Amino acid sequence: MDDTELTDDTGPADEIEFTDDDSTLSAYWHDRMLDHEPPAGAFKFPRTPIVAVDEPHPDRRERVENLKRMLERAFPERARFETATRATRGEIERVHDPDYVGWLESFCADGGGRIGDTTTGANEATFDAARYAAGTAVRAARDAVDGSDAIPYALCRPSGHHAQSDRADGFCFLNNVAVAAAAAVAGGVERVAIVDWDVHHCNGTQEIFEAREDVLVVSAHHDHGSWHPEYHPQEGTLDEVGTGDGEGYNVNVPLPPGTGDRGYERLFERIVEPVVREYDPELILVSAGQDAGAADPNGRNLVTRAGFRTLGHRIRRLAADVADDRLALVQEGGYQQSHLSFATLGVFEGVLGHTVDLERYGTDDPFDWLDEPTDLVNSWIDDAVEYHSDYWPLD
């Protein structure tokens, strides 16, 4: 092939073994998701007279176009694309208020625009694009449950994990991973674990499932708190553990700015893996936002291609151990459109157990240039371990 060469090097976590070294990937996609276009301005914010040239909104179509190209070039023998269908209203309304769904459809049909004073905006195509995005996630989860030979990947745009049951937020309109999890439960799955490594708190997923014990939500994110009193009231703090029957099944792990490869591996060792193993899910869904990457303008963490490779290794091994390899990945954020390809390449190198030797770049990450504050990161993880030990066997 022109630009890449597959090798058998498994990178920094080569001690991890897989049951199938010939693993393949099914990526669910529809071109309609490219037609969603939020308003331009000053990055994600409204335009201002002190900026001469408006900038495309960070949720630009090039993000997912690059991801599609990355899969085609990096894994030509392993990745196949399948056309998604729209999520049905019934699937969507398992987790979203029908009045909100109707409002969103009408808002987009009228041309869209910014939603209130937020950074989230839509155009006339957004509702349809969001239905396709949710549909990719439903299909990915269904294929994982059915024991697909290929790892299912929902290449979603727009993302979903900030969308709450009755409102849009954080560039998200329908909560793709929540729609998928609810569909799996409706189909007979008793326990679903959602692992969210997007750098932003999955406040929408938390809100939707906070009173339920059949869906575990584990989120590692910046300690950014609430960014809007109406549209994003959740804080993402340790003490948001769920309510009623769901108490303990929402596991928030705030991380300090600068958390990198070592910090995320420690996060998996000390919290993600022991919690998920104890929960013993039948299906693992990953909200795979790679905006914890070293160059992301909408995050401040330092995870590299190698770090994401390790996350991919570990989540695949975890799914093989506890969920009979029933694993699906759902695309969330990542806003430096070039590094997103390197970071997501790392994820799938880990998931598939094969590292790609890129011409000019090898197996490295050209965006890797800072080291992380290890002692600070470890102290925050220690705090999370102590807090969640009330609910889970952590040490």
Residues noted as catalytic:
162
- Report d(CA 88, CA 101) in Å as an integer: 11
Burial category of 255 from C-beta neighbours within 10 Å (exposed 0-12, middle 13-18, buried 19 and up): buried
Residue 27's nearest CA partner among 75, 80, 85, 72 is 80
* Alpha helix ranges (H) inside 146-227: 176-186, 203-209
| Contact between residue 282 and residue 192 where contact means Cβ atoms under 8 Å apart | yes
**Dihedral sign (CA 158, 160, 164, 169):** negative
Buried b (16+ CB within 10 A) or exposed e, 260-280: bbbbbbbbbebbbbbbbeebe
| Contact between residue 311 and residue 268 where contact means Cβ atoms under 8 Å apart | yes
Neighbours of 185 (CB within 10 A): 20
Query: Which residues are registered as beta bridge partners of 327?
Result: 284
Q: How many helices (H) and strands (E) does the chain have?
A: 11, 12
Contacts of 188 by beta carbon, 8 Å cutoff, 6+ apart: none
- Say if strands 113-114 and 121-122 run parallel, antiparallel, or are unpaired: antiparallel
- Report d(CA 271, CA 109) in Å as an integer: 44
| Contact between residue 37 and residue 123 where contact means Cβ atoms under 8 Å apart | yes
Distances (CA, A) of 204 to 116, 201, 395: 18, 9, 29
- Say if strands 113-114 and 250-255 run parallel, antiparallel, or are unpaired: unpaired
- Report d(CA 271, CA 265) in Å as an integer: 10
Chain centre to alpha carbon of residue 274: 20
